[in-house]
A and B are shown apart, each in its own frame.
Chain A
Amino acid sequence: MAAKKEQIMLGIETSCDDTAVGIVTSDKRILANPVYNQFKEHEIYGGVVPEIAARSHVEHLDNLIKAALKEAGLALRDIDAIAATAGPGLIGGLMVGVVSAKTLALALGKPFLAINHLEGHALSPRLVSDIEFPYLLLLISGGHCQLLSVEGVEKYTRLGTTIDDAVGEAFDKGAKLLGLGVPGGPKLEKTARSGNPERYSLPRPLVGKPGCDFSFSGLKTALVRTVDKFVRSGAKPTNEQISNLAASYQAAIADCLVDRTANAMKMYRIKHGRDLHFVIAGGVAANALIRSNMEALCELEGFSYFAPPLWLCTDNGAMIAWAGLEHLAKGHTDTFDFPARARWPLDQQSAPKIGHGKRGVKV
């Protein structure tokens, strides 16, 4: 029997403020993975402006595809299939990526695959390691905060999710309140480094409660109140005080993540028994305190710990291409009427997919 031909997937990611294109092979070679970061375009607004993001995606995507092909030393006709993030995310950008991918697929006569952004993150560890299903995933980013049991392609159980802000949002809002600038997460982490995390007593929402959902809005409000006290007193805070506030805030976030993840690990263990693997992904996985706390928790709970490299944790095209390859290997493709979806829960049981154009048999 002839060896199965290696497949080359082009993946497009436009769900937030990164325009990204990845070219990945079925034997896990990443041939190109350029990212155009729109950070500068949004900076003066203090956050991502959806309309600016959408305008930027349509302006940059085709050139980024060209750049990726050049880097990979390939022509478009060498690509076997095209995948794009179809949700969840900012709808204006999603539509740009989805329409572009469909058009390329139509013009080249190749399959199109609509990828769930969360699934891109969830499957990304498999692109850079030999990790097998199942594993417990903590996905923490600017837009998402979830604990998922990843049991296979299209088989995800959501154990917990945020009931208000995503954890990256909590970092960004905290940084904004403390006047630290953007990007909020890294700025806050840097400021916290010299601070005393026990100086200010801030709440840990939901900690100690059953389940593994997250909540950060109460913590943010507590920080607002603390800052208000300073402003009302008329005194300028010292750098030390700001560092202490940042450190206390970050410690509270990390404590919440550890407590909720510990609960998830207990739930996960009941279902999956002994061979226990934990993966952390998403842009906030760059935070050193959170990483080390999670690693310690894994040791305590008897889980193996895996954190994909940072370039794979933040939004990128390679993870979308890889998720596309995982689907293609199962014979999945999508039709050209697949909608871009601002909301698209990954868990099939608790929130069944609606109106999607999947062909082929589900596993």
Chain B
Amino acid sequence: MLLALDTAFNACSVALASLSGELASARHVVQSRGQAETLVPMVDEVLQQTGVKPQAITRIVVTRGPGTFAGVRIGIAFARSLALATGARVLGLSSFEALAGSVSLEGSWPKSLPLVVAIPAGRAGVSAEMFTKPEKTSLVPKTLKGPEIVSLEDFYAWTGAGKGIIAGPRMDQIPEAEGFAKIDTWPRAEDLIRSALLYPESAYEDTATPLYLRPPDATPQSPSRFSAGS
């Protein structure tokens, strides 16, 4: 079985499907925090409802960020521990890959336009990655640029495109620009299942690593003003 989960943004989202993508059960609760309390009970509930044993999970798909720091870690800690206990292989999709996959599968992406997935990065601006539409919807969107952090002022210049589509979870935080259409989209575990099917088996790894892009907010200590003379 394939278990997908997302806790990187405003939700605790879980979906269980067969390896061919047939959905067995899914849960999606909107909550921007507290997933450390709700995620494991939610998976427990999904497993009990479907009668699937944890050991039957052979693949895990998880959003690995960027997103909220704590949310990203909750998802990754879960995926890593489940992989450790079951031997399941893990597909860690960045939030950009996950959302580009969703937009591509929804079919609302005109072929001629680039897609920019933009995720708020606090005071630094936005984390962004630009994709080109795949030849077929059965393929993974291809990266044109990024991912990297761009200031809001430089955002449209960074795209280098006169027009395109911007997608992401907080479109209200992205300034408007002529020629660009916005799609408000958040990760959902059900969509992750569909996105995961675009990836070959070789994309699955032993583990998954968080993608933060933003460094921790800390400054190195200044030297002590008090040190011994000779």
A residues sitting closer than 8 Å to B (CB atoms) are 44-47, 49, 51-52, 54-55, 58-59, 61-62, 65-66, 76, 91-92, 95-96, 98-104, 106-109, 176-179, 227, 230-231, 235-239, 241-242, 335-340
Contact = CB atoms under 8 A, between A and B. Distances in A.
A242 B80 contact: no
Interface string B62-90: 00000001100110111011111110000
B36 A58 contact: no
Nearest to A191: B228
> Looking at chain A's contact residues, is the secondary structure mostly helix, strand, loop, or mixed?
helix
Nearest to B79: A103
Interface string B31-44: 00010111111011
15 contacts: A46-B220, A46-B221, A55-B212, A59-B209, A62-B81, A102-B40, A103-B85, A108-B85, A179-B226, A227-B226, A235-B229, A236-B229, A239-B228, A336-B44, A337-B40
B225 interface: yes
B4 to A, nearest CB: 15
Contacts, number: 133
Contacts of B36: 95, 98-99, 339-340
A76 B83 CA distance: 12
Contacts of B84: 62, 65-66, 76, 104
A62 B226 contact: no
Contacts of A98: 36
Contacts of A241: 228
Contacts of A237: 226-229
A118 B179 CA distance: 58
Contacts of A66: 84
Nearest to A108: B85
Q: For the side of the interface on B, what is the size category?
A: 35 or more
> Looking at chain B's contact residues, is the secondary structure mostly helix, strand, loop, or mixed?
helix
A152 to B, nearest CB: 28
Contact of A338 (B37, B78, B80, B216): B37
A65 B85 CA distance: 11
Given A62-B207, A107-B54, A239-B228, A51 B218 contact: yes
A65 B77 CA distance: 13
Contact of B82 (A65, A103, A242): A103
B219 interface: yes
A39 B46 CA distance: 40
Contacts of B55: 107
B190 to A, nearest CB: 21
A99 B216 contact: no
A149 B86 CA distance: 42
